Every structure is written in structure tokens, then in C-alpha cells.
């Protein structure tokens, strides 16, 4: 196989030794592009040739001030913490920042589309959410260097991927404008950003060197200046007239018309910064590897900075209108804040770690469920234990099994029932009310009711440990069963804090998908206006589940804001024959 990304059937750019060079490598002549090959569609196909080009401009309008944050960032620990050089080097090598998207820079598109997102793994595998298009990937190619970031085109009908050697791969309507894939760099590329019209892009290396391609102007770089910490990402201004570079310590360097709003360069961070994203209305956010979010010149919507994380956060991107943001850990578990809709996370088991994400305009469809849309099956519990009970008949796709109810013995048939579920296994915990004086979740200290939050966190972690001890596969989607049976508190805020703690308890075990099972008419009576951004499993008996999938949100606006994944449409007490399922059990349908 040819070198990763080298031109196939064409020629690269020509290095002109007479042109100026700096630490980022030689400046390249701006000859015509080599012939290019664009692949798209299907599952994980295609690469794209690369051709190097870099502007030889002097730095202009450089702002390297380091000021304290101008906003508070709630729930963010700021105690002293040593950042080892090795950790920083790994972060710089593996993370990319994806900041420019079609919806951000194209108001006409944003007004008619849904703000969605892509994730990219280090092998170039692409995960699309919210109806964002899949246009191809390098997931089945042997790459010389790992992918570190991505950026979307102006209309979200394509995207670019960039590798740590500066190799660029284009898909869909993303035009190939050049790369550094066949020249030696002093330091690896760590991120990219696209121009507002998609006619070019910038690459940034960990030493702050900036490489420009297409119509992307060169506004300056840090390539010849000493840095306290390596650069880990970049973001372009909405009009493409400038860009910011962010270092692992949160130091911000602004160029062109990029305004300096503040940084964490003079603060001691618990964990390093891994990326940044710009608000199209002004300002920027950047994220730390522990999920801490720092907002400058823009609203703060929330963070995971004090919630235990089993995997590092690696990427962040803003919603189209700047009203929220998403970030992802290296296993593709996505968290959303503000008006950024949660559309799903990567499968629990992926081939390579996620390294970046980008905002996209999508259709609003959801494709991240454990089950194919339109499939049927059952959920079962200890009441189906044999010999008194019986297991539902085959065939079925859905198989959701109860682990336990907190404070009560583990489902004695858990292992047997998990084997019955087979490849369709999901697990659930029947939640009840309680209090605990402490837990492993510092975020509970700021919850509406710390004691119930602690109880929920501890109960969820215990359920996970019990399932693992039973020998069942815990790397599946989990659900919290929230219904009126248990003796819930009269305080909706206390109940909501308990559910919040339970969600955080399971997610701290590294689970990508933790959802809520509840009756749509009873959910708000238990937790009030609490609307977690997690998947929803609706208990809506006696109705065609396809109807419920489509209209349950319009009828019950206070539900969890994640996708409606499953509908429990039939129960022995309210049978609804459909899909050939036995009405002697609880029957489920995948939306």
C-alpha cells in the first residue's frame, strides 16, 4: 500500500527551496493541485490523496496574553494538580478539535436543519448522529499515522479528517485542498478547522505551527515561539477572518480578527485542556480531559468537571446556534449541555478510541440504539424465574433483563436470563428511594438533595458490580426503571437528585448508554421538571408503539431529552397483540 494519503495517480506539491521556512517545516510552492480521488458512501470505505501547501506569511495581529477567566465555571474543581509531561504529550498526539461546521457558518442551513454531530476515531472510523450524513471513512485502511481531528463542510454534506502527520482525507462534497502528509514536521498535527465557506482549511501542530490550504488565509502561528505547554486544538472565527489556538494549560493565542476573551493559562488545572470550540455568536469554550468546561465571552451551560470519569474527554463542539455544546470521551460517550440535543453515543465496544467530533446539520433521526428500528422483543425480571415463571418464547431481538432492586437480593436468574437475551441483552435496575451520607460522586455535594444523589450513585454502582459478579456482559445499554411503585419522596427535587446520582454512577463505570424507563404520564409526577439528556424507554401500553415513537414527546413535553429508543407497548394486564409477540409478557418495540 502507498504511504498513508499519498497522491495515487498524481503528483504532490513542489518544495521551493528559495521560499522562507520556519519551525513548522518548509513553505511550499502553490502550484496546481494534483489529481484527486474522492470516495464516499457505504460502510467505512475510502481515502483521499493529499498534496502539501503552506503560506509563507509573517505573523500578524498576534495576541498571546494569558488572563484569568472572565466567567465562573460552576462545578469545576480548581485545586492544584500536576500535569505530567507524558500525559500532555499523549493528549497532544491523540486529540483533535472540531470547530467549524456548516450550520455554524451557514445560517440558511442552520435555520432549516437540526444541529447534530459526527465522531471520528483514531482509525478514521466515523459515527454519525442526529441524521448527520455518512460520507465515508478510513476505518478499513492501514494508516501511517492516527487520525486526530475532523471538520465539516459548510452544508454538512461532507467532512475532512486529518492525521497526526498532516495527511488530509476528504469525503462527500469536501474538496481536497492539500496536506502535509509527505513532508517531515517538527511536531505532530493535533487539529484542524475549516473556512466558513468550505473553500479551505487550517491545520495546527502541537508546537503552534499553522498550515493553510485552499482559500484559508495565514494569520500567524506560534511555530517559532517557545510554549509553556503544547497546542492541542484550534477554532476559526465565524467569518473565517481569524483563529484561536489553545494549549494544554488553557493558554489562548488569537490571530486575525479572533478576539481574546480570556484563558486558563495562569491557573493550576486538575487535568489538561484537550480541545476548544467557538460560539458563532462570539466567545469560545474549551474542555479538559476530566470534562471540565471553561467559558470565555460566552455562556456556561454545565460540565462534568467534578463527576467521576473512567475515560478521558477528548473533544468538544458547539451547537449550530451557540446555545449549547457536546463533548465526547475516548470511547465515544457523548454528553450534552444547553440546547445541544443528545442524539446518541458510539457503541460500547469500538475498534479504536474516539479522538474528535464536529457539529453537523442533520435530519434529527436517531440511529444509535441497541436494536434495529422496527424490531420486537421482551423485558423480564425475577418474576420470570423458573420454575414458577417462564422465559418468553423465541424468536425475539430485544431482551432486557432486570439486575436488581437496590436494597433487595440480586435477580437470582440473572445469568440464565442474560443467556436467554443473547446478543440482544440490555440490563435495567428497578430504582427505589433512599438516602446515603456519602458516595464516590463529588457532584452530589451540589445536588438539590446530596443524600438521595449519593444513594442513587451507590445503588447504580452496586448493581453494576453485581451484574459483573454474576458473569453477565455489562458492556451493554443500561436502563433505570423509574415508576411509582417504590415509596418515592414527596419532594420531586430529591427524587430527581437520586436519578441524577444513579445515571452518574453507571456512567462512571464507563458505560456509553444509560437511559430512563418510565411511564410518560408519571415521569414528571416523580421527578418534576428534571429532563436528563439520556435515551428514553416509554411504558405506554395498549397503543401501537409506532405511534408512541412518533408522538410521545408532543403529548408529554417533560420527558428525558434523549432519543425515544424503545416502547413497552403490551403487558399481561394490558395486552396489545403485535409483531407475533406473546402477550403473556411485557412486549417491547424498537423505535
In CATH terms, are 58-158+188-362 and 376-590 the same topology? no
Tell me, what's the pLDDT at 112?
52
**pLDDT one-digit tens code per residue, 475-500:** 999 999 999 877 899 999 999 999 99
pLDDT tens digit sequence for 323-350? 999 999 999 999 999 999 999 999 999 9
Q: In sequence order, what DSSP letters do the residues of 60-126 get, joined into one string?
A: -S-B------SS--TT---------HHHHHHHHHH-------HHHH-HHHHHHSEEEEEEEETT--E
Q: Give the per-residue pLDDT at 29.
A: 23
Contact between residue 166 and residue 125 where contact means Cβ atoms under 8 Å apart:
no
pLDDT value at position 369?
82
Percent of the chain with pLDDT over 70: 81
Q: Tell which CATH classification among 2.120.10, 3.10.20, 3.40.50, 2.40.160 matches the domain 58-158+188-362.
A: 2.120.10
Pairing of strands 284-288, 252-256: unpaired
Q: Which three cell numbers stand for residue 124?
A: 478514521
∠ Cα 391 397 401 (to 5°) = 50
The predicted pLDDT at position 77 comes to 25
Cβ atoms of 244 and 278 closer than 8 Å: yes
What residue ranges of the chain have pLDDT lower than 70?
Answer: 1-112, 367, 388
- Return the number of other C-beta atoms located less than 10 Å from residue 466's C-beta: 18
Residue with cell 440511529: 367
For domain 376-590, give the CATH number.
3.20.20.80
Picking from 6, 11, 7, 47, the residue whose alpha carbon sits closest to that of residue 29 is 11
d(CA 176, CA 179): 8
Domain ranges across the chain: 58-158+188-362, 376-590
Beta carbons within 8 Å of 22's beta carbon, 6+ residues apart: 209, 221, 223, 224
431, three cell numbers: 430504582
Please choose, from the candidates 263, 28, 49, the residue with its C-alpha nearest in 3D space to the C-alpha of residue 160.
49
Lookup: cell for 1: 500500500
Amino acid at each position: 500500500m502507498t504511504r498513508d494519503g499519498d497522491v495515487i495517480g498524481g503528483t504532490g506539491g513542489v518544495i521551493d527551496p528559495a521560499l522562507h521556512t520556519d519551525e513548522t517545516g518548509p513553505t511550499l510552492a502553490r502550484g496546481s493541485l494534483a489529481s484527486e480521488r474522492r470516495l464516499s458512501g457505504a460502510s467505512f470505505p475510502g481515502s483521499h490523496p493529499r498534496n502539501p501547501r503552506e503560506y509563507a506569511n509573517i505573523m500578524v495581529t498576534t495576541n498571546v496574553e494569558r488572563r484569568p477567566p472572565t466567567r465562573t465555571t460552576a462545578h469545576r474543581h480548581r485545586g492544584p494538580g500536576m500535569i505530567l509531561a507524558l500525559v500532555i504529550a499523549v493528549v497532544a498526539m491523540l486529540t483533535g478539535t472540531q470547530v467549524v461546521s456548516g450550520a455554524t457558518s451557514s445560517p440558511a442551513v442552520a435555520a432549516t436543519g437540526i444541529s447534530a454531530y459526527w465522531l471520528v476515531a483514531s482509525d478514521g472510523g466515523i459515527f454519525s448522529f442526529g441524521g448527520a450524513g455518512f460520507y465515508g471513512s478510513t476505518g478499513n485502511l492501514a494508516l501511517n499515522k492516527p487520525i486526530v481531528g475532523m471538520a465539516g463542510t459548510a452544508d454538512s454534506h461532507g467532512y475532512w479528517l486529518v492525521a497526526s502527520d498532516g495527511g488530509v482525507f476528504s469525503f462527500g462534497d469536501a474538496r481536497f485542498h492539500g496536506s502535509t502528509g509527505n513532508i517531515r514536521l517538527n511536531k505532530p498535527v493535533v487539529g484542524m478547522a475549516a473556512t466558513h465557506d468550505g473553500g479551505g482549511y487550517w491545520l495546527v501542530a502541537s508546537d503552534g505551527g499553522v498550515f493553510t490550504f485552499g482559500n484559508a488565509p495565514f494569520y500567524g502561528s506560534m511555530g517559532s515561539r517557545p510554549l509553556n505547554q503544547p497546542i492541542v486544538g484550534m477554532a476559526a472565527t465565524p467569518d473565517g477572518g481569524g483563529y484561536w489556538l489553545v494549549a494544554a494549560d488553557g493558554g489562548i493565542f488569537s490571530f486575525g480578527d479572533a478576539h481574546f476573551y480570556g484563558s486558563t493559562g495562569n491557573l493550576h488545572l486538575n487535568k489538561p485542556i484537550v480541545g476548544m470550540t467557538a460560539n458563532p455568536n462570539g466567545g469560545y469554550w474549551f474542555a479538559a480531559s476530566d470534562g471540565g468546561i471553561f467559558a470565555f465571552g460566552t455562556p456556561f451551560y454545565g460540565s462534568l468537571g467534578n463527576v467521576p470519569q473512567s475515560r478521558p474527554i477528548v473533544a468538544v463542539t458547539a451547537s449550530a446556534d451557540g446555545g449549547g455544546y457536546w463533548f465526547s470521551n475516548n470511547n465515544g460517550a457523548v454528553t450534552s449541555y444547553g440546547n445541544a440535543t443528545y442524539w446518541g453515543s458510539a457503541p460500547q465496544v469500538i475498534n479504536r478510541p474516539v479522538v474528535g467530533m464536529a457539529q453537523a446539520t442533520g435530519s434529527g433521526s436517531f440511529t444509535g440504539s441497541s436494536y434495529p428500528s422496527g424490531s420486537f422483543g421482551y423485558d423480564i425480571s425475577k418474576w420470570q424465574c423458573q420454575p414458577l415463571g417462564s422465559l418468553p418464547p423465541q424468536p425475539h431481538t430485544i431482551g432486557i433483563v432486570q439486575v436488581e432492586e437496590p436494597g433487595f437480593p440480586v435477580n437470582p436468574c440473572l445469568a440464565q436470563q442474560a443467556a436467554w437475551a443473547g446478543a440482544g441483552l440490555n440490563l435495567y435496575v428497578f430504582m427505589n428511594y433512599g438516602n446515603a451520607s456519602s458516595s464516590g460522586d463529588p457532584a452530589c455535594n451540589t445536588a438539590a438533595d446530596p443524600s438521595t444523589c449519593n444513594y442513587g450513585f451507590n445503588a447504580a454502582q452496586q448493581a453494576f458490580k453485581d451484574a459483573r459478579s454474576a458473569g453477565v456482559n455489562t458492556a451493554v445499554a443500561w436502563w433505570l426503571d423509574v415508576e411509582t411503585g417504590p415509596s418515592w419522596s414527596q419532594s420531586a427535587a430529591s427524587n430527581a437528585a437520586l436519578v441524577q446520582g444513579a445515571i452518574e454512577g453507571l456512567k462512571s463505570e464507563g458505560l456509553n448508554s444509560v437511559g430512563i424507563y418510565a411511564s410518560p404520564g408519571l415521569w414528571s409526577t416523580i421527578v418534576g421538571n428534571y429532563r436528563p439528556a439520556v435515551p428514553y424507554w416509554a411504558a405506554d401500553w395498549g397503543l401501537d408503539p409506532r405511534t408512541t415513537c412518533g408522538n410521545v414527546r408532543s403529548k408529554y413535553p417533560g420527558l428525558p431529552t434523549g432519543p425515544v429508543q424503545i416502547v413497552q407497548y403490551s403487558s399481561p394486564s394490558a395486552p396489545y397483540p403485535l409483531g407475533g409477540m406473546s402477550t403473556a409478557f411485557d412486549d417491547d418495540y424498537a423505535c
